[in-house]
Amino acid sequence: MSGELAQLLPTPRHFEQAGELVTEELIAESIVCGPDLDHHVEQLQAYADAGVDELYVQQVGGGHDAFFAAYAEHVLPRFH
């Protein structure tokens, strides 16, 4: 939710209504998500190219062990 919308909602029900405006496509525009590890690498590379030397990644939902195992095998080696 852009701007101050998330801060100006008076009740939880209003927040739920505003949340209905958020789609998976909108989330994917600003957050790296999904199973395509090449896409993750591309997005992380953009940060590296901008001079960022430390990023934090997070797995939302279950499957944390598999997520970080995949990152360790397929993503991190491309940045060493």
What are 12-29's pLDDT values in tens digits?
888 888 888 888 888 888
Which pLDDT value is given to residue 6?
64
- For residue 23, what are the domain limits? 1-31
- CA 31 to chain CA centroid, Å, is 3
Do 51 and 18 reside in the same domain of the chain?
Answer: no
Do 56 and 75 reside in the same domain of the chain?
Answer: yes
Checking phi first, is residue 36 left (phi over 0); if not, alpha (psi -120 to 50) or beta? Answer: beta
Do 67 and 53 reside in the same domain of the chain?
Answer: yes
| More confident site: 80 or 75 | 75
Do 55 and 80 reside in the same domain of the chain?
Answer: yes
| Spatial distance between the Cα atoms of 43 and 49, rounded to a whole number of angstroms | 10
Do 43 and 75 reside in the same domain of the chain?
Answer: yes
Do 73 and 41 reside in the same domain of the chain?
Answer: yes
CA atoms within 13 Å, Cβ hemisphere of 64: 4
Residue 37 has pLDDT above 70, yes or no: yes
Which pLDDT value is given to residue 65?
95
Question: Is the pTM value of this prediction over 0.75?
Answer: no
- Identify which of 48, 40, 27, 29 has the alpha carbon closest to the alpha carbon of residue 67: 40
Two tokens, residue 73 = 């095998």
Which pLDDT value is given to residue 79?
87
Do 41 and 23 reside in the same domain of the chain?
Answer: no
Give the count of domains, the chain: 2
